[in-house]
Structure 1
Amino acid sequence: MREILPALSRWYADGAPFGLATVVGVSGSAPRDPGAALAVGPGDVVVGSVSGGCVEGAVFELAREVVARGEARLETFGYSDDDAFAVGLTCGGEITVLVRPVTRERDPGFGAVARSVAEGRPVTVATVTGGPAPRGAALAVWPDAVAGSLGTPGLDVAVTADARGELALGATGVRRYGPRGERREDSVVVFLHSFAPPPRMLVFGAIDYAAAVARLGAFLGYRVTVCDARAVFATPERFPAGVEVVVDWPHRYLRGTDTDERTVICVLTHEPKFDVPLLEEALRRPAAYVGAMGSRRTHDDRTARLVEAGLTPAALARLRSPVGLDLGARTPEEVAVSVAAEIIALRWGGTGTPLTATGGTIHHLERGGGPGAG
């Protein structure tokens, strides 16, 4: 939902009701993950997607209906081969979508949620999807505040505790409770949608390849920083808008920067005096991906230097070098696609093999390490 929040914020600020459809459950080869959203606003304007096109028309009509009636709906869409024109998923999976009306009166905390997401502050939105509690009721939970209610104080307390736990992990999913928050009961179904701050992509080396990687990183939802010790190259004008540019020695900058299990580190400096101390630091800290540009000869030389620096085989095994998948890339933009493809494959457990040469499910179970939910 993160990408459609600017439009939702405008509608909300104008006091215009809108229908918000959110994927709250998936199974099989579903096209979108939980948290994917579509909204229908004033003048039947549509933003977002819940299925990549399969059931958007039906969801559009549902969204208009819930706004008119003021009542939330829960619908499940699966595969249908009985009628070529039936509403269903062509991919063979199944999605469950909660469609609810959003107004200032019903959702007094929505504006604060939208601002938090835009500013990169963590927040979880808990929404009732089934059971005796009011369907569509929402509770926004921050690390130090809450807004809204799910119907009973006990349920609010239990969900708040769980939402903060999920928020720390950046996780999104379903929890079940009793009507007053009893944890041994499962009559009330609550969807917890966590908006963790975007993960970081750290690109070292202010070269033309770095500009292309930075563009794709921002497109994939990362907060991108480019760092180079050479001030003549590390200028904001050479990189996309919104990308942070830092002039510093790469290893020194990384040493003073927080990373976590979602952070992506791309070393494109292609110079041993920068690469070796930087990779020594990168491979000793948490990160989802550490990739380094260079030929196989460069890789062998770097590896020998890192061994001399005391890195273990386990640490060296984390290094993706030469960086990227074998796509036959030549231009900076093509190389950036190769790097992005490797990052995505590592996150989801993909192989990089053409799908025509594989069998079974297309979508892999989440392994973590990528952009935050929403």
Structure 2
Amino acid sequence: MISSDDVFSHLQRFRTEGTPCALVTVVRTLAPTSGKPGSRAVITMAGAVHGWIGGGCASGAVLRAVKDALADGEPRLIRVSPPGSSSKGEDGVIDFDMRCASQGTVDLFIEPMLPPPVVRVHGSAPVARHVVEMATRVGLSVQVLAPDTDAASFPGARRHAAGHDVPAEWPSARWSVVATQGQGDRAALEASIGTGVERIALIASRRKRDALLRDMEERGASAEALARVHAPAGVNIAARTPEEIALSVVAQLVEWRRSGVEGAGVGRDAGADSCCGQVS
């Protein structure tokens, strides 16, 4: 039987690698069951089980519940018990039928362990540096692409490149922030569009946004790709200073993380033109 130390060793490895998994713990049993309270396992989306939570009678229910937890990011308490059991129907517990002859009951807590979303920040302007710092503090994994800089300039960033082209070995990103502010805008935006991120937060005035999008269209960018660009970037807090602008942009990233990206597109004017510090 695998020890708790081994279970947590697997968990740490998966978290370091960025592999989604769930920590499953037996919290209550009614005999006969082979799993006992405190038994644990780490289970991946592919169904690989590292640890011990009992025999195969409950495995189908556990694997289904793990996949659901990894899909929505929410923990859940499940109960696997015989059909018609009086223990079914308790608030806060998801019921599954025990189909094995043992007819035992087992409660398991499933805690999804999802890697933090990855955001790429293009640029070395003060706003970009504040975005990196704040995004790291709210639990995002930050990659920085900034010409003529080194990694020491961006404490907390997980990856750094001194250019706008994304290294092939980097993990894929969910979002991109173009905070170049006049220093390589087109190169950064083109690189962001080319990587297929879900959304691009472009720190620019409406006038500059329109010019950049026209340029990207002339370079062959599709309408679908351009629709992923959100500009002016950030939620509307009337931001003016670099710190305030960065705060508004990171707030937008949090909004995307917690509620999805529905309704966030080029036509949504979430911030004032002055938020980017440019009027042209």
- Whether the TM-score (by the shorter chain) exceeds 0.5 is yes
1:131 Cα offset (Å): 5.6
* Partner of residue 119 from structure 1, selected from 1, 12, 16: 16
1:119 Cα offset (Å): 2.4
* Residues 88-115 of structure 1: CA deviation (Å, up to 9, x unaligned): xxxxxxxxxxxxxxxxx98343441453
State the partner residue of 1:107. 4
State the partner residue of 1:299. 209
State the partner residue of 2:50. 147
1:221 Cα offset (Å): 1.4
Classify the secondary structure of the residue corresponding to 1:119. Answer: helix
Classify the secondary structure of the residue corresponding to 1:206. Answer: coil
* Partner of residue 324 from structure 1, selected from 226, 234, 240: 234
1:334 Cα offset (Å): 1.5
Distance across 2 between alignment mates of 1:121 and 1:347: 17
Classify the secondary structure of the residue corresponding to 1:237. Answer: helix
Q: Do structure 1's residue 275 and structure 2's residue 185 form an aligned pair?
A: yes
* Partner of residue 258 from structure 2, selected from 348, 359, 368: 348
Structure 2 letter corresponding to 1:115: Q
Classify the secondary structure of the residue corresponding to 2:4. Answer: coil
Distance 1:139 1:322, change over 3 A: same
1:206 Cα offset (Å): 1.6
Q: Do structure 1's residue 266 and structure 2's residue 168 form an aligned pair?
A: no
Paired-residue identity, %: 22
1:213 Cα offset (Å): 0.6
1:118 Cα offset (Å): 5.7
* Residues 99-138 of structure 1: CA deviation (Å, up to 9, x unaligned): xxxxxx9834344145326624433211234563644432
Gaps of 5+ in 1: 1-104, 352-374
Distance 1:146 1:350, change over 3 A: closer
Distance across 2 between alignment mates of 1:319 and 1:199: 18
State the partner residue of 1:246. 161
1:316 Cα offset (Å): 2.4
* Partner of residue 128 from structure 2, selected from 210, 218, 243: 210
Q: Do structure 1's residue 222 and structure 2's residue 144 form an aligned pair?
A: no
Distance across 2 between alignment mates of 1:128 and 1:111: 15
Distance 1:167 1:110, change over 3 A: same
Classify the secondary structure of the residue corresponding to 2:215. Answer: helix
State the partner residue of 1:193. 111
Structure 2 letter corresponding to 1:218: T
Classify the secondary structure of the residue corresponding to 1:323. Answer: coil
1:1-374 counterparts in 2 under 5 A? Answer: 107-113=4-10, 115-116=12-13, 119-122=16-19, 123-129=21-27, 132=30, 134-142=36-44, 146-155=49-58, 157-158=59-60, 161-162=63-64, 165=67, 169=71, 171-174=73-76, 176=78, 178=80, 185=97, 188-229=106-147, 231=148, 234-248=149-163, 250=164, 252-253=165-166, 257-259=170-172, 263-271=174-182, 274-283=184-193, 285-349=195-259
Structure 2 letter corresponding to 1:345: E
Aligned-residue Cα RMSD (Å) equals 3.6
Gaps of 5+ in 2: 83-94, 99-104, 262-280
CA contact (8 A) 2:132 2:156 kept: no
Distance across 2 between alignment mates of 1:151 and 1:350: 37
Classify the secondary structure of the residue corresponding to 1:283. Answer: helix
1:198 Cα offset (Å): 2.5
Distance 1:350 1:153, change over 3 A: closer
Distance 1:256 1:322, change over 3 A: farther
